[in-house]
A and B are shown apart, each in its own frame.
Chain A
Amino acid sequence: MEAKLSRAAKKLTTSPIQELSHLAQCCNAINLAEGFPDFPAPPHIKNAAVSAINSDFNQYRHVQGICDYLSQMVKEIHGLDINPLTDVAICCGQTEAFAAAIFATIDAGDEVILFDPSYETYEGCITMAGGVPIHVPLDPPQWTLDPSKLLRSLTERTKAIVLNSPHNPTGKVFTKEELETIARACCSQDCLAITDEVYEHITYDTVKHISLATIPGMQERTVITSSLSKTFSVTGWRVGWAIGPAFLASAIRNIHIKVTDSAPAPFQEAALTALRSPPEYFQTLKSDYQSKRDFIVKLLAGVGFKIQFIPQGSIFLFAELPEDCLLSDVEFVKKLILEAGVVAVPGQGFFHANLSSNGISEGSCSYQKRYIRFAFCKSHETLAAVSERLGNLLNGEGFLR
């Protein structure tokens, strides 16, 4: 009966992130693996959802107000002009917005460029649509984009480039120069760009998130996907969107209607309240997360992790194992769970064998097993508890054994 599975389903495998969560739960470990908060969502937004349920906003709906607010925000923050009536599709989370964008544009055999390390879901989705994921590696330790690597990966089959910035798992925020490089590639190949900007409001120090669509030549060929989840700590509500030129947004909307028909109605209503949050909300979001980032960087660097790249955005820290640690990332995380009761994600799941690395020796790819991703979207109590538990792994000098 296994023969009854589609080819696409047979290719896809379980999420390594989810398996570790299982082991973590069995060991009662503190979960720094999955990227969702353990602190409550903002009360004003929860109240809006409760009020929506009570006011009978419970049937299928499309809340145009979301599109209106998004178009205002996108204009204020990025200077982009979009038409709220035609250029926005509301979806069940950024996940569905991305899936719909892929299904709207990718035919079997189309190549889609991804930057490695990359969030696991993109590849699976592209594969399901019959597309071919092509991974272009970012160069450690700063995760810089080498333009020649990008150019080498372009072919006449390249249909789209996927850009996730701020970036999961590294916390990198792509620079203007890197965005211009990507834009040049898109325009010269006449291909599309699909962006995942879910961490758009979580950037640190003076780093600004720049939307790829703002680079000249890009708005007409870019689909922006994002959601409420990370900005408003409501990852379980499933309200996201795709913004793009009308013909793309319309195609995405049509797919969304066939795949899920409607995003949850009361949460769409609550989104109106969320998107109207005052500037102070976003400032506090940033500063709160920045203090968590600083705490975890200091903690892990203090016990011997190599942190050559401090996250510029997102809720993740991609830390490198100390030189003298002979374990692989997976072995280390197992140890972390069993001896310290803390779980994180081994970085190798985010790296992929890619065509660009053909001919490169095994040695230069060994870095792919040296990184661990820690999520720091947790309460201060949780992070403090992590600090305590890490003690179990330290030697007399306070470094990792």
Chain B
Amino acid sequence: MQVHCTCTHPPMRFAPSSSFPKFIGFSKHFHTLIAPSSPKLSPFVLAATMSTDTLPTQNHTTATTTQRPLQVAKRLEKFKTTIFTQMSSLAIKHGAINLGQGFPNFDGPDFVKEAAIQAIRDGKNQYARGYGIPDLNLAIAERFKKDSGLVVDPEKEVTVTCGCTEAIAATILGLINPGDEVIVFAPFYDSYEATLSMAGANIKCITLRPPEFAVPIEELKSAMSKNTRAIMINTPHNPTGKMFTREELDSIASLCIENDVLVFSDEVYDKLAFDMEHISPASLPGMFERTVTMNSLGKTFSLTGWKIGWAIAPPHLTWGVRQAHSFLTFANSTPMQWATAEALRAPESYYVELKRDYMEKRAILVEGLESVGFKVFPSRGTYFVVVDHTPFGLENDVAFCEYLIKEVGVVAIPVSAFCLDPEDGKNLVRFTFCKDEGTLKAAVKRMKEKLRK
């Protein structure tokens, strides 16, 4: 008879509702700061942008005749159907080869799948401890030590989440107040902007530009101040494949320490670091105490649908992450956690082979894209590569991607989808090489045959 230990912290009670008056003050503050750059949308328009297909009929009538409260929340102004879904539907319609969405078309390793199956058969199917089963927290800490040299307490400094996406959401919702200033580097993974806006953050954007997508340090210096609450770093970087260098991270670190700024570091592609060593910002002097390091199983083990991720942070920051997590999803898939602990204990040879495999794929795609006529920017890590499409004479990245799907039969993602200002991305599109070699070769062949300058 198993007793599950799910204790988190010493006894505390809910705050009484004498806190009620604070929320009234909150709402005024919140309303003026949400989505500062977009116009105030009427309930009707909000409802329209929310739906993925044609306008709902009976519902929108109700929304227009009664101003409130049937509208969806204001925080959703940034939440539209993602570009990925749109491109995927178009791809299916035209039978295009999908080098758009970032998940493999091959499966994860057998030993990990078998571990999950065994866990299901052993009856490990009930709620796990909210912040992770002890063995997984331990395995994460062990792996992090190998990777970064940092020693962390699995019980107090590791939180397991439903994928890295939820680690990001829990970190932002647990540590960011409405009105807090957060710096992000564009182009960026699309959940950052959406989740930051859900938390009511004031987003300051710094654009990384080709060919190296180097961090513009002077611009960062003037953007960061004592008012800055946090900065988001994604290394290796989606969509550009950039890896933040030691010099860049040192500069960022000293600015963060000087201004007392937190760092939220998304390192989900850390095992796909090809051209240089991956550096975790948390490992730099003075940085561990202010950094949340996020990662997951999905990319490293080609099991993106299992949704096991984690956030590593000092106890005072972990507290916030865990609070938000407990109200977002409460617990993570139990059998998959057991399997992830196995996965993380894979021998070094697994990671060596993974890298070699992906480097071969990268070579196929990059050589292909270059020979077709794209200007290809070096991808140092992740399984993405960004190219300049302008040699082909289309108006912008979205137009190019539509053309590529319909006329050539290949999917890429327009980089403007990852930018706050679409102008910043209009010359660039992203291809992924997390596909088997046959698929990559077939895509290159189609482009060679049909893509004309």
Contact = CB atoms under 8 A, between A and B. Distances in A.
Interface string B274-314: 00000000000000011000000000001111110000001
Contacts of A7: 22, 26, 177
Contact of A41 (B17, B30, B123): B123
Given A34-B127, A121-B327, A250-B51, A263 B19 contact: no
The residue in A131, A234, A258 that gathers the most chain B C-beta atoms within 10 A of its C-beta is A258
A92 B200 CA distance: 24
A58 interface: yes
Contact of B317 (A4, A58, A258, A385): A4
23 contacts: A1-B316, A5-B174, A9-B324, A18-B8, A18-B130, A19-B7, A21-B5, A41-B123, A50-B117, A58-B306, A59-B302, A60-B305, A95-B327, A220-B59, A236-B126, A246-B59, A250-B50, A258-B169, A258-B198, A260-B169, A261-B191, A262-B304, A382-B1
Interface stretch (B72-80, B373-381, B411-419, B437-445): B72-80
A254 B79 contact: yes
Contact of A13 (B12, B176, B194): B12
Interface stretch (B100-108, B354-362, B386-394, B401-409): B100-108
B75 A236 contact: no
Given A5-B175, A13-B13, A18 B330 contact: no
Interface stretch (A23-31, A74-82, A307-315): A23-31
Contacts of B107: 56, 58-59
Interface string A190-224: 11100000000000000000000000000011000
B69 A22 contact: no
A265 interface: yes
B262 interface: yes
A238 B166 CA distance: 13
B237 to A, nearest CB: 19
A185 to B, nearest CB: 13
B60 interface: yes
A54 B323 CA distance: 35
B251 interface: no
A227 to B, nearest CB: 11
B307 A37 contact: no
Contacts of A41: 123, 125
Contact of B58 (A17, A107, A220, A255): A220
B3 A21 contact: yes
A242 interface: no
A211 B165 CA distance: 32
Interface string A242-272: 0001111011011101111111111100000
Contacts of B75: 103, 107
B12 A14 contact: yes
Contact of A5 (B1, B162, B289, B319): B319
B174 A6 contact: yes
Contacts of A179: none
Given A107-B74, A220-B62, A259 B12 contact: no
Question: Could you say which interface size class chain A belongs to?
Answer: 35 or more
Interface of B: 1-20, 22-24, 26-27, 29-31, 47, 50-53, 56, 58-60, 62-63, 66, 68-70, 72-76, 79-82, 101, 103-104, 107-108, 113, 116-117, 120-121, 123-130, 162-163, 165-166, 169, 173-178, 180, 190-191, 194-195, 198-200, 229, 262, 289-290, 302-307, 314, 316-317, 319-320, 323-324, 326-336
B329 A95 contact: yes
A107 B177 CA distance: 14
A21 B6 contact: yes
A258 B195 contact: yes
A237 interface: yes
Contact of A251 (B50, B103, B173, B303): B50
Given A58-B108, A105-B72, A265-B306, 13 more contacts: A6-B174, A6-B175, A9-B323, A17-B6, A19-B11, A28-B3, A86-B52, A107-B30, A190-B69, A247-B60, A257-B82, A260-B163, A262-B305
Most buried by A among B19, B20, B314, B328: B328
Contacts of B195: 258-259
Contact of B262 (A4, A16, A355): A4
A99 B316 contact: no
A62 to B, nearest CB: 9
Contact of A109 (B5, B27, B50, B177): B27
B320 A5 contact: yes
Given A59-B104, A96-B329, A108 B6 contact: no
B50 A247 contact: yes
A99 B76 contact: no
A85 to B, nearest CB: 8
A18 B12 CA distance: 12
Nearest to A22: B7
A1 B315 CA distance: 10
Contact of B163 (A40, A132, A261): A261
Interface stretch (A122-130, A137-145, A291-299, A389-397): A122-130
Interface string A42-76: 00001001100110111111000000000000000
A352 B14 contact: yes
A264 B333 contact: yes
Nearest to B110: A54
Contacts of A385: 1
A259 to B, nearest CB: 4
B66 A255 contact: no
B80 A254 contact: yes
A36 interface: yes
Most buried by A among B2, B26, B162, B302: B162
B161 to A, nearest CB: 8
Contacts of A327: none
Contacts of A260: 162-163, 165-166, 169, 307, 328-329
B375 to A, nearest CB: 30
